[in-house]
């Protein structure tokens, strides 16, 4: 694997630390991805993404070329929106140049994927945005490398219960999400909704609130951020530091992040779970879907659902994340994704769930029974805990008003 031409760069793609393919950049920002011959030939190969399976369940190996954007699987490993702009500026890369963003951030990506320059290739001069940037700028960018929109980073825990950002941005076992600009108490909101979800029987990773002032090694410019941050234990990392592979449903459906609200529905997600997972995962999906309607989460898009591969080959529904009552901030009567026929919260009824079950190949008895049970548990724990959770009075008022508009509630 040798770079012959000056305008060609190669990134090696690894899964669980083993090379499985390459991303090659040629002719400016045109890129192409290819699996290695060894990965293609390995009948017991670990799964990189269901999005690389064809209709027959075989591995897809012909991808063509992309310009600026990488393939959707890799594009979805990168941050979005303001977070992408922030990191690109720190790294000295234009936000649209995804090949070089992945080069910078490839040491600590979600799941068990890592990316590194092939043969130790040096950073090419034409990758920079014209400003004077050095390797230490790119190291700083890595400290905020996890995909998403909100300013968040991977952190290490200590024996005293504190958290600190690793100096190089690699190796953290917690995700810390800072307070959101322009919205009050978002970490407290998410902590409350995730706590309720656990009480209602959902698979929620360990979470806690921590004062921003108690987080060690924050980078420059973060000293003006104050209040509570949310810390979530990474479910894609084991206690020994090894990685467990995950992928979100934008990757499964080969959808770019900008289309995470449009290109698939909750019914489509259910169809994948019916084909790839067991009954317990389907019940958990209905539990989460119902719960997020009840709390008024209008932002459960494709990237907020993920699969996990505990044995490297068999998909399962990954633990919960990003449960926020968005109606506490923005009055919205629609969900991010269509359920089966409608996005309207007021349309989330037994009939809509029956339609979803029939068209996704799910047991109607399982779907309706799980939804009924979730509604009952929600009301029980909401009434008991709403006064004990760190929610604002406005958030409680918004949720209670919203519940009167949801038929299944």
Mean pLDDT for 399-408 is 97
**15-19, 64-68, 222-226: range with highest mean pLDDT:** 15-19
Active centre residues (catalytic): 299
Residue-wise pLDDT for 133-181, tens only, equals: 445 544 544 444 334 435 666 677 766 667 766 655 566 788 888 887 7
Residue-wise pLDDT for 169-215, tens only, equals: 566 788 888 887 778 899 999 999 999 999 999 999 999 999 988 88
Residue 122: which of 109, 105, 135 has the closest Cα? 135
Q: What per-residue confidence (pLDDT) applies to 129? A: 59
CB count within 10 Å of CB 1 equals 11
Neighbour-count burial for 55-90, b at 16+ CB within 10 Å, e otherwise: eeeeeeeeeeebeebbbbbbbbbbbbeebbebbbbb
CA torsion 138→20→46→254, rounded to 10°? 70
Residue-wise pLDDT for 87-123, tens only, equals: 788 788 899 999 999 998 898 889 999 999 998 888 8
On the 0-12 / 13-18 / 19+ scale of CB atoms within 10 A, 330 is: exposed
Domain positions in the chain: 9-142, 152-233, 245-403
CB count within 10 Å of CB 22 equals 17
CA distances from 313 to 21, 58, 67 (A): 18, 13, 31
d(CA 304, CA 250): 9
Q: What per-residue confidence (pLDDT) applies to 310? A: 97
**pTM (predicted TM-score):** 0.91
Mean pLDDT for 352-381 is 98
- For 246, half-sphere exposure in the C-beta direction (CA atoms, 13 angstrom radius) is 27
Residue 98: which of 9, 2, 16 has the closest Cα? 9
Domain 245-403 annotated CATH 1.10.1070.20: yes
Q: What per-residue confidence (pLDDT) applies to 219? A: 65
């Amino acid at each position: 694997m040798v770079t012959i031409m000056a305008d060609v760069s190669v990134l090696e793609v690894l899964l669980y630390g083993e090379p499985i393919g390459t991303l090659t950049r040629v002719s400016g920002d045109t890129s192409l991805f290819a699996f290695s011959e060894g990965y293609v030939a390995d009948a017991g190969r670990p799964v990189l993404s269901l999005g690389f399976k064809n209709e027959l369940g075989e591995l897809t190996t012909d991808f063509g070329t992309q310009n600026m954007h990488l393939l959707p699987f890799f594009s979805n490993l990168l941050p979005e929106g303001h977070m992408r702009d922030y990191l690109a500026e720190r790294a000295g890369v234009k936000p649209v140049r995804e090949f070089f963003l992945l080069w910078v951030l490839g040491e600590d990506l979600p799941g068990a994927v890592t990316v590194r320059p092939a043969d130790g290739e040096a950073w090419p001069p034409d990758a920079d945005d014209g400003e004077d940037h050095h390797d230490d700028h790119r190291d700083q960018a890595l400290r905020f490398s996890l995909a998403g929109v909100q300013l968040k980073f991977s952190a290490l825990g200590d024996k005293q219960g504190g958290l600190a950002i690793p100096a190089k941005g690699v190796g953290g076992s917690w995700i810390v999400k800072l307070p959101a600009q322009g919205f009050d108490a978002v970490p407290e909101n998410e902590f409350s909704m995730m706590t309720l979800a656990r009480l209602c029987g959902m698979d929620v990773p360990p979470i806690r609130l921590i004062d921003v002032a108690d987080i060690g090694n924050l980078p420059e410019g973060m000293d003006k951020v104050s209040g509570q941050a949310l810390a979530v234990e990474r479910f894609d990392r084991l206690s020994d530091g090894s990685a467990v592979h995950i992928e979100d449903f934008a990757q499964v459906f080969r959808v770019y992040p900008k289309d995470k609200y449009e290109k698939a529905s909750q019914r489509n997600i259910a169809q994948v779970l019916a084909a790839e997972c067991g009954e317990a995962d389907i019940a958990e999906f209905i539990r989460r879907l119902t719960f997020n309607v009840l709390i008024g989460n209008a932002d459960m898009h494709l990237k907020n659902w993920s699969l996990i591969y505990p044995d490297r080959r068999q998909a399962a529904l990954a633990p919960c994340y990003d449960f926020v009552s968005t109606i506490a901030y923005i009055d919205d009567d629609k969900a991010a994704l269509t359920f089966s026929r409608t996005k309207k919260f007021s349309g989330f009824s037994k009939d809509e769930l029956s339609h979803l079950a029939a068209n996704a190949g799910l047991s109607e008895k399982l779907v309706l029974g799980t939804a009924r049970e979730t509604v009952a548990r929600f009301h029980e724990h909401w009434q008991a805990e709403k006064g004990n959770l760190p929610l604002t009075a406005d958030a409680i008022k918004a949720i209670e008003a919203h519940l009167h508009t949801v038929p299944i509630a």
